[in-house]
Structure 1
Amino acid sequence: MGMTGSGKSTFISHFCGTARAGHGLRSATAEVEAHLATHRIRDRRVIFVDTPGFDDTLRTDTEVLRDIVNWLNVTYAQNIKMTGIVYLHGINVPRVTGSAHTNMRLFRELCGDESMASVVLATTHWSRSAGERAAQESRHEQLVADDAFWRRMERNGARVFKHDRGETTARAIVHYLLDRGREGGGGGGMSLRVQREMAEGRTLDQTAVGIALERRIEEMRLAYERELGNLKRELDEARQQTAQNQQRIEEINEDRMRLESRLNEEKAARRQLRKNLKELQRERSDEQRKKLRDREQPPRKRSHGQKGCVVM
């Protein structure tokens, strides 16, 4: 797990030929994806699970959370448990952004303090330049020392790694989790707080991670409404002045439409959180069936008079 661009798919690609690493601004992982390791590791069959980040470029945090929680709960109901979780953070980013902080908070609430002994926190994208490396070392220490970032998780048993040597450190991390799983009771596996909460019958908004996300959504709603109020006042002032402000009026109206669209998205997101396990699974199954139908539907024949165009 981790933010978009933190190196999740790249990490998995060291073990699985099916993982796709992204190289652009968009996330390469749109949904939760399971990959079987090409070779046995520590004489074990290992499956890696890649997840989209909560800052996904195409979907809201609520949609991402819903998919992750649904996958976790389906496997939990089948008594399939995880050996451990690797949370990745790009150390090349100069400061911990609001999105990164939200990612860490949601991750912590998703897992719960009692699951941290099976968690690895790893920094990625280390530079080979001595000057840049010194600044990155300082940022790494800040992550480990601050309760708002990794300190609390480490105190509860999470292990911190510097993932700075490609496949070598990736293997060290996986070996640590596999060995720790054996030591912890024969590889019985871990369960997360959100899995236990939803197994008790809670809806997603009643779980710790759902409450944290809803708090974040409310903060965003208030910020959008403040910005919308400022735009309305600016629009009134522009309308009272000369016709030269017409372009600015159009820009303000575009910004208003963008903000109103975001507010509507946040309202829809809050409705999505008020769903229990069965509703999440049913919704996910409906989406999967629709995707399957869309893939199986043959393309229509090309219309007469159209060149180089297939109408879908």
Structure 2
Amino acid sequence: MGPMGAGKTTFIAHATGEGWAHVEHSLVSRPVNPVRTITCYSAPEGLAPVTFVDTPGFEDTEMSEVDGLCTIAEWLKNNLKNGDLAGIVFVYRISDNRMSGSLLKNIQVFVKICGMKVMKNVVVATTMWKNISAPTAWRRQAELERVWFRGIMNVGCELKVFEDSYDSAWAIVNDILNLDPCPPLLIQEEILRGKKVDETSAGKIRKWRWGVK
């Protein structure tokens, strides 16, 4: 998961051997970008096939954000049972020079989709390291640890560097696969209790962001 253009599809492309994923370079996203899955049979030796799920981002327009949240919720409802999910990689551009309101709300919606008990199965992978100098990147990484992701790191989330390679992707994936299975996401539990998407914790964050009544 992660914002549009942060590198979700690129991460999967590297993990699966490159060439599979259609990586969007446009700054304009489609109104509905469906959840895509790909099963990787080229995992490192000794690992069973792993299925990656590429989710739509939370965009900076009301309709695409609503579509993205509903699409993710519907996919989770229809495809996941308890124990099916190993964990989640949340990708974040280290090249962003400030934490904008849009990026902050992306993080807040993500946390409310997952719930805090899921954070031990979450890795935040920072991307786009080649786009800025190493000293600047490491300074921003330290700030993310100290400020913006501190709360979820305190309950088990890890912050790691993704270096645009097969080995780097699998170093992150392997860390997740070595954990106990991921518990149900908060949004899954809320929907099972009969809530509509806009009534869930993530949906309420979205409403607050856009002033939706």
Q: Same fold (TM over 0.5)?
A: yes
| Structure 1: distance between partners of 2:48 and 2:184 | 20
| Structure 2: distance between partners of 1:58 and 1:213 | 8
2:26 maps to 1:45: no
| 2:173 counterpart residue number | 174
Q: C-alpha deviations, 1:140-188, integer Å up to 9, x for none?
A: 1111111xx21111111001101125222111001111112xxx2xxx4
Contact in 2 for aligned 1:145/1:151 (Cα 8 Å): yes
- Paired positions, count: 209
Alpha-carbon RMSD = 2.2
Change (3 A) 1:21 1:30: same
Deviation, 1:57, is: 7.4
Deviation, 1:97, is: 1.4
| 2:73 counterpart residue number | 69
- Residue 15 of structure 2 aligns to a residue whose secondary structure is coil
| Structure 2: distance between partners of 1:101 and 1:204 | 20
| Structure with greater helix percent | 1
| 2:33 counterpart residue number | 30
- Residue 160 of structure 1 aligns to a residue whose secondary structure is strand
2:202 maps to 1:209: yes
- Residue 195 of structure 2 aligns to a residue whose secondary structure is coil
2:114 maps to 1:111: yes
| Structure 1: distance between partners of 2:115 and 2:144 | 19
2:12 maps to 1:12: yes
Larger radius of gyration: 1
Change (3 A) 1:91 1:35: same
Letter in 2 for 1:32: V
Deviation, 1:40, is: 3.8
Contact in 1 for aligned 2:82/2:184 (Cα 8 Å): no
- Residue 127 of structure 1 aligns to a residue whose secondary structure is helix
Contact in 1 for aligned 2:58/2:64 (Cα 8 Å): yes
Contact in 1 for aligned 2:59/2:65 (Cα 8 Å): yes
2:125 maps to 1:126: no
What percent of counterpart residues are identical? Answer: 31
Letter in 2 for 1:99: S
Letter in 1 for 2:53: V
Change (3 A) 1:125 1:85: same
Q: C-alpha deviations, 1:15-42, integer Å up to 9, x for none?
A: 3343211223234892111111132444
| Structure 2: distance between partners of 1:174 and 1:11 | 10
2:204 maps to 1:200: no
Deviation, 1:59, is: 4.8
| Structure 2: distance between partners of 1:40 and 1:142 | 33
Letter in 2 for 1:134: P
| Structure with greater strand percent | 2
Change (3 A) 1:136 1:103: same
Q: C-alpha deviations, 1:80-112, integer Å up to 9, x for none?
A: 621000000011111111111110000011100
2:98 maps to 1:95: yes
Contiguous gaps of at least 5 residues in structure 1: 219-265, 271-312
Deviation, 1:64, is: 0.7
Change (3 A) 1:207 1:58: closer
Contiguous gaps of at least 5 residues in structure 2: none
Deviation, 1:189, is: 4.0
Contact in 2 for aligned 1:14/1:170 (Cα 8 Å): yes
- TM-score, normalised relative to structure 2: 0.89
Considering Cα pairs closer than 8 Å and 6+ residues apart, tell me whether 1 or 2 has the greater RCO: 2
Contact in 2 for aligned 1:109/1:208 (Cα 8 Å): yes
